[in-house]
Structure 1
């Protein structure tokens, strides 16, 4: 049991201790506070969207909010996991593993952005520390701009 002081990480586990393992398992990959706040503000403006959905069916990556008709994908990135230039602090323990993981996340983010742009999508990325009000206004504006294009009728 992880609560047992004699507990050891399973073979091949990256957790350095039972406490670290519990801590890492508690971190949400979706429905974080910043995401929920931005979603609530966007929803209050009358916009509807998909949550944690794949913008492209053949791309095994999900956006936090997807506006399919307007082709807008929104990502709210955590400062630690996505390497925020303002708030990222390299880990003190197991730094090689975690720094490499964050670097791979950043590379995957850039690849995702490029694939979506190539498919005609607008990608909006925000940091978790950014103002939810500012982010939601940017999302609403972008979706409205993409919906109102000459010669195109969209709902």
Structure 2
């Protein structure tokens, strides 16, 4: 099915999609860190992959991965329209996540990735941070 927007209009819409400050992932994890009195983290720390939270003294990075965008199969949320496009986009995100994780691990960082559904349920293993 053809897109109902022109390429320029679609691009404008997609540019408005935020990659920072997502309430279902980053903001919820921020609240969990504060609730558990976990300190020493930084945001907007300049590392490959743009981790959501970085603990520079412990060399730990946290990524909050949205289930849809990063390919978690916790729910059946695969679009029926333009399925090939979305599958290709998600597969590229998964590959990029793997590349970033490997790169940071080679540099000595511990990489923790939390799924959106885990964050929502507050079902996280934070022992590495304590």
* TM-score between the two structures when normalised by the length of structure 1: 0.67
The CA RMSD measured in Å over matched residues stands at: 2.6
Query: 1:124, CA displacement in angstroms?
Result: 0.7
Gaps of 5+ in 1: 1-6, 16-20, 145-155
Q: Bigger relative contact order, structure 1 or 2, given CA contacts below 8 A and separation 6+?
A: 2
- Greater Cα radius of gyration, structure 1 or 2: 1
Other-structure match for 2:96: 108
Contact 1:66 1:73 (8 Å CA) reproduced: yes
Contact 1:76 1:125 (8 Å CA) reproduced: yes
1:115/1:14 CA distance change after superposition, 3 Å = farther
* TM-score between the two structures when normalised by the length of structure 2: 0.78
Cα separation, 2, equivalents of 1:26 and 1:87: 25
**Higher mean C-alpha deviation, range 27-36 or range 121-130:** 27-36
Q: Does 1:49 align with 2:46?
A: no
Cα separation, 1, equivalents of 2:9 and 2:102: 31
Q: How many residues align?
A: 124
Contact 2:38 2:129 (8 Å CA) reproduced: no
Query: 1:64, CA displacement in angstroms?
Result: 0.8
